[in-house]
Amino acid sequence: MDPKKKTVGFVPDQDVNTSDLPSPGSSNPSAVNTPVSAFSDNQDLNRNTANTEPRPINSSGSRSSYEPMKSSYEEQWGLSDRAQSKTQKAASSSAGAGAKDAGSNKKDTKAKRVSIASPVNSNAASGKEGAKGSGLGIQSNASSMEGSQNGGAGLSGGPPTSGGKGGSQRPSAPSQKSMTKAERRELQEKQKAEKAARISAGLPASGKKAAQVLAQPSSGFSPNPSKSLATSFPGVEAEKAIAAAESTGQTKRREKLTKEIGLFAHLDPPKFANTATAPRDLHPAVVNVGLQMAQFKICGANARCVATLNAFRKAIQDYSPPPNTTLSRGMQGYLNPHISYLVTCRPMAVSMGNAIRFLKHEIGNNLDLPDEDARVLFMEKIDNFIRDRITMADQVITSLGLQKIQDGDVILTYARSSVVQSLLLAAHAKGIKFRVIVVDSRPRFEGKQLLRALANVGVPCTYVLLTAIGHVMKEVNKVILGAHSLLSNGALYSRAGTAVVAMSAHELKIPVIVCCETYKFSDRVQLDSFVQNEIGNPDELVNDQNNNYGHSSTRCHDSVRGSDTSATSASKGAGGGVLSGWRESRDLKLLNLLYDLTPSEFVTVVVTEVGLIPCTSVPVILREFLPMIQQS
């Protein structure tokens, strides 16, 4: 029972995040009441309704610690729990490493946060008297017990998603939640590694926390819970679990945990910021950029490319070659771990790939230059690349694109592209009278940024979601889209949803204008979105009601905090809508593809810095034009 109490004490802190609060209530009456009231305004009806059902099931679970595990869920749960314990071990160790890494990088606030968060995890884990496996089991037990108690008491506020299987789902969820919340707590209170002591203290701590918990929800639609839900990276834990599972060679388990989808098994699973696995000698600037990209703080092909190049520039600036090599030769080997680190953070963008290829090409061409000359040369080349291929290119694209915007136009655009945004702003600045329809979609809602930028300068805007595309397309006379990449067969590889927009425009014979710098052209050929794509964090799809009110900028902001908590997935689920228990549901998988492929016949024209070209001319540009640039 002792362990239970501990876990109970633990739970309340965590619940900052979400609905779990009810369970603590069982052990602590005062807490019970408060969460309910808090929920009444803050939490969704969903939860309450959902909660009512699962309880009976839970109640069947006996209090003795391990019994419940033998229920029909046992397989799933047992497996996942054990895996999680491993995960947590791995997490604690990796977190320690991560902390060290991050700690070395004082400039990087994010890194610091990560480091803070991860020790928390490890502490929490170790706080359970070191016996992690048993500790976990106890936890899950305790939670199930709580669930049963709740059911008996008829309190509202059990985990929302549990549904029929609630009992099974619960155990794991609380444990994860507890981790998360603990982390969050720590962040907020800025108490660090000493948490273990507090945990052992048990109830008193929980009481305080419960009080705080109460305070937060009662603030009405307090942004914090929703933000944390939206931004946290629950997958972190899953990933670690995967790593653990892999290490033990249990691939079956892996599949179950990742909820991998057969058709997309060849794609990398979603990645999460993790400095733990990174080699030690990475340049902090690159580490920084990698983390930011993993958390989607840096997002968009141009932004990622510029950030990467600038980080490499710093790395080159600070690089001193080992003895007996020139800087260029040393650099060749030096960059590779950086690049592979970036790939571990998030799959490489085509733009980054091209830029890095350019850089390597330059290095390879100047192997025998004196060190300082080479350093200056490479830095200058990077600056020139950013200037010529991105900054100036965008300006030229903007001026060329202006030719195609006339008075009275109704322009539709999807999500947000930096080039499209500057084009529309320039058109407005030029005095052209036009209207913009911003089409947006879950889960990232990138269009809101564009909408804000346009609305701020007074462009008449309409904002709709992708579902309304058929309706709004009728009044549109031009569609302007951004691009992640243009492939050699003329296909457009861009944010998921672009293909639908282009297709419906094509259907109505509305010209589709794509703005794309030539450095994003790829010599790849792709016929569908399956061969190559990027899988995003599936949990982004889950928290419907929360995501709908957050927009990406605040989400990004929050993701700093959210990502730190490595165990948020379950707790997050508890705050979400009907999908929140998806990880526990045997047959439910979520797929969050980030890109899709628009066939070339849906694209009327591509605006590039070399002029307006049909998208089938991509290989011509690659063949004829780019060599010219590289020579000059």
Partner 1 sequence: MSEEFDVVENYKDLLRSSPELSMPVAAIQALVELIKHSKATTMSEFMLSIKDASQRLKSSVRNSISLSAGCDLFLRFVTRNSHDVADFETWKATLIVRGQSFVEKADACRYKIADLGVPFIKDGSVVLIHAHSRVVSLLLQKASENHKRFKVFVTESSQTQGGIRSAKMLRAAGIPTTIILDAAVGYVIDKVDMVLVGAEGVVENGGLINQIGSYQMAIVAKAANKPFYAVAESYKFVRLFPLNQYDLPTYNADTLSFQELNVDYEARVNEDGTIVPGSTAVSAASSTALSQTALHMKTSEDRASQGSNPLVDYTPPNYITLLFTDLGVLTPSGVSDELIKLYL
Is-cis flag, bond preceding 443, omega within 30? yes
Q: In this structure, is the dihedral angle defined by the CA atoms of residues 457, 459, 462 and 463, taken in order, positive or negative?
A: negative
**Cα–Cα distances in angstroms (integers) from residue 305 to residues 358, 371, 378, in the given order:** 12, 26, 16
Which residue's CB is nearer to partner 1, number 426 or number 629? 629
**Minimum distance from residue 494 beta carbon to partner 1 (Å):** 19
621 belongs to the binding site for partner 1 (CB under 8 A): yes
604 belongs to the binding site for partner 1 (CB under 8 A): yes
413 belongs to the binding site for partner 1 (CB under 8 A): no
611 belongs to the binding site for partner 1 (CB under 8 A): yes
Single out the residue of 457, 578, 588, 620 in contact with partner 1 (rule: CB under 8 A): 620
196 belongs to the binding site for partner 1 (CB under 8 A): no
616 belongs to the binding site for partner 1 (CB under 8 A): yes
Which residue's CB is nearer to partner 1, number 263 or number 628? 628
> Residue 159: helix, strand or coil by DSSP?
coil
Contact 301, 389 (CB under 8 A): no
Task: Show the tokens assigned to 504.
Answer: 């419906």
Query: 475-506 burial by CB neighbour count: b if 16+ within 10 A, else e?
Result: ebbbbbbbbbbbbbbbbbbbbbbbbbbbebbb
Region from 14-22, 164-172, 526-534, 618-626 binding partner 1, contact rule CB under 8 A: 618-626
Region from 49-57, 269-277, 284-292, 597-605 binding partner 1, contact rule CB under 8 A: 597-605
605 belongs to the binding site for partner 1 (CB under 8 A): yes
**Minimum distance from residue 114 beta carbon to partner 1 (Å):** 47
612 belongs to the binding site for partner 1 (CB under 8 A): yes
**Minimum distance from residue 511 beta carbon to partner 1 (Å):** 4
Task: Show the tokens assigned to 325.
Answer: 């090599």
Number of H helices, E strands in the chain: 29, 10
**Minimum distance from residue 623 beta carbon to partner 1 (Å):** 9
**Minimum distance from residue 548 beta carbon to partner 1 (Å):** 35
**Minimum distance from residue 458 beta carbon to partner 1 (Å):** 25
Which residue's CB is nearer to partner 1, number 189 or number 409? 409
Task: List, in sequence order, every beta strand (DSSP E) within 327-401.
Answer: none
**Cβ neighbours of residue 143 closer than 8 Å, sequence gap 6 or more:** 7, 11, 23, 170, 171, 173, 174, 175
Single out the residue of 227, 404, 495, 583 in contact with partner 1 (rule: CB under 8 A): 404
Bridge partners, residue 513, by sequence: 480, 605
Q: H-type helices in 297-386, by residue range?
A: 301-318, 327-345, 350-365, 371-385
* Composition of the chain by helix, strand, coil, percent to 5: 65, 5, 30
Which residue's CB is nearer to partner 1, number 303 or number 612? 612
- Separation CA 421–CA 479 (nearest Å): 13
610 belongs to the binding site for partner 1 (CB under 8 A): yes
197 belongs to the binding site for partner 1 (CB under 8 A): no
Binding positions for partner 1, 492-511, rule CB under 8 A: 509, 511
- Separation CA 124–CA 183 (nearest Å): 9
> Residue 283: helix, strand or coil by DSSP?
coil
617 belongs to the binding site for partner 1 (CB under 8 A): yes
389 belongs to the binding site for partner 1 (CB under 8 A): no
- Separation CA 632–CA 627 (nearest Å): 9
Region from 186-194, 260-268, 429-437, 616-624 binding partner 1, contact rule CB under 8 A: 616-624
74 belongs to the binding site for partner 1 (CB under 8 A): no
Which residue's CB is nearer to partner 1, number 170 or number 404? 404
Which residue's CB is nearer to partner 1, number 176 or number 617? 617
Binding positions for partner 1, 349-388, rule CB under 8 A: none
Q: Residue 305 half-sphere exposure, CB side, CA atoms within 13 Å?
A: 28
**Minimum distance from residue 402 beta carbon to partner 1 (Å):** 13
599 belongs to the binding site for partner 1 (CB under 8 A): no
- Separation CA 66–CA 141 (nearest Å): 7
Site pattern 438..477 for partner 1 (x: CB under 8 A)? ----------------------------------------
628 belongs to the binding site for partner 1 (CB under 8 A): yes
Region from 12-20, 59-67, 297-305, 609-617 binding partner 1, contact rule CB under 8 A: 609-617
72 torsion bin: left (phi>0), alpha (psi -120 to 50), beta (else): alpha
Region from 288-296, 458-466, 527-535, 624-632 binding partner 1, contact rule CB under 8 A: 624-632
Task: Show the tokens assigned to 33.
Answer: 């009441």
Bridge partners, residue 595, by sequence: 495
402 belongs to the binding site for partner 1 (CB under 8 A): no
DSSP 8-state secondary structure symbol assigned to residue 592: -
Binding positions for partner 1, 152-191, rule CB under 8 A: none
DSSP 8-state secondary structure symbol assigned to residue 558: H
> Residue 313: helix, strand or coil by DSSP?
helix
Sheet holding 478-481, edge to edge: 461-465, 434-440, 409-414, 478-481, 512-515, 605-608, 611-613
- Separation CA 279–CA 178 (nearest Å): 30
Task: Show the tokens assigned to 47.
Answer: 């939860």
Q: How long, in residues, is the chain?
A: 632
513 belongs to the binding site for partner 1 (CB under 8 A): yes
**Minimum distance from residue 621 beta carbon to partner 1 (Å):** 7
Contact 450, 413 (CB under 8 A): yes
Single out the residue of 478, 495, 551, 561 in contact with partner 1 (rule: CB under 8 A): 478
Which residue's CB is nearer to partner 1, number 580 or number 608? 608
625 belongs to the binding site for partner 1 (CB under 8 A): yes
Which residue's CB is nearer to partner 1, number 506 or number 520? 506
Region from 314-322, 328-336, 338-346, 622-630 binding partner 1, contact rule CB under 8 A: 622-630
- Nearest Cα neighbor of 129 from 75, 191, 199, 41 is 199
Residues at the interface with partner 1 (CB under 8 A)? 404, 478, 509, 511, 513, 601, 604-605, 610-614, 616-617, 620-621, 624-625, 628
